[in-house]
Amino acid sequence: MIVMGRGESLDEGVLAFSRPVDRLRAWNVFIMDVRTRRMVEVMNYGWRVAADLQWSPDGRYLAFATFGPQSDLYVVDIFSGEGRNITNDFANDRYPSWSPDGQQLAFYSTRSDGLHFDVYLVKPDGSDLQRMTFDEATYPAWSPDGSQIVFSSRIEGKLYLMGVDGGSPVQLTDNPGHDRNPIWSPDGSQIAYISFVNQDNIFGDRIFVTNTDGSNNRMLSTEFPIQGMPSWSPDGRYLAFVGRGSGERHDSLYLADTLYANPVRKLAENAYYSYTERWAMWSPDGRYLAFSLRDADGLYTVDVSSGQLRELASLMIMYPVWQPRANNDGNF
């Protein structure tokens, strides 16, 4: 295990990511001390890619889905390296999302009939499975206070809010396109999401932001025909996203200001993004974004203020995610 001395600065934090470890592309989960670049393998799970790594709020566990003929959810303890397959079945289980108290995971799955996705809750040990929706739902995301979940309806293409204690879902958006991939602002007052637009000379995915009562629903930017999952800055002012402008061959990492009409700013080129998953690109202090390259090996951070790039590793890496600030007692 990586152990950082007590009292040492954790300003730059710890990253988790997935990477292949042999020529047959067996994928493992690793963690890295960003300051020292020391890296250790946390879990060896075979050839399926661990997509959309998600830290627990206390920074001790990682949840992820593996993609292959059978897509399962796993939870791994980074201190012990013990991993648990919490959904060992033939369904497609995807997109685990921790509740703010770390006691539950929301995910979507075809376990009801093998064909249609719905949102479920499960405890990190795999117990107390609950089905939350019954009408084709995907991409669940928790409110910061843990009382609500927002999700995307695959049939209607709208976002809905539901309480975790039951009750009928309430429609949040009503755009002409398909609304998906919602994510709450840190203060719980807004939700950013992606919607497909085909009107007024605008075609393709765009990022939208709405208040949680559905008011002030607005398109954030129009410059990019392709836009990926937005990621809120810790202070709730900015959204980082990956986009590709007209005529560009590669995706780039951009920053948009949600409070003021400042121009969207490019931070880095050739950034990898899948456009379907989400991960915590921001460092806990809001100073850096982590990303990997699409057309080459490499893990990088970019300083949001200066735009300065730093290479952390010249390896094939996917889904880098920052450990939350909660685990800052000096032990990794």
C-alpha R_g of the chain:
19
d(CA 329, CA 332) in angstroms, rounded, equals 8
Q: Which fold has domain 173-275?
A: Neuraminidase (2.120.10)
Q: What are phi and psi of 254, to 5 degrees?
A: -125, 160
- pLDDT at res. 263: 85
For residues 62 and 78, is the Cβ–Cβ distance under 8 A? yes
For residues 212 and 161, is the Cβ–Cβ distance under 8 A? yes
Mean pLDDT within 174-190: 93
Tokens of 321: 């995610």
- pLDDT at res. 279: 67
**Domain chopping of the chain, boundaries:** 173-275
- pLDDT at res. 328: 45
Environment class of 178 (CB within 10 Å of its CB; exposed 0-12, middle 13-18, buried 19+): middle
- pLDDT at res. 331: 44
216 versus 49: which is more confidently predicted?
Answer: 216
Between vectors from CA 160 to CA 155 and to CA 166, what angle results, nearest 5°?
110
Predicted TM-score of the model (pTM): 0.89
d(CA 5, CA 186) in angstroms, rounded, equals 30
- pLDDT at res. 276: 57
What number of H helices and E strands is found in the chain?
Answer: 0, 28
Is beta strand 27-33 parallel, antiparallel or unpaired with respect to 159-163? Answer: unpaired
Tokens of 269: 């080129």
Structure confidence by residue, pLDDT tens digits, 136-168? 899 999 999 999 999 999 889 999 999 998 788
Write the single-letter amino acid at 9.
Answer: S
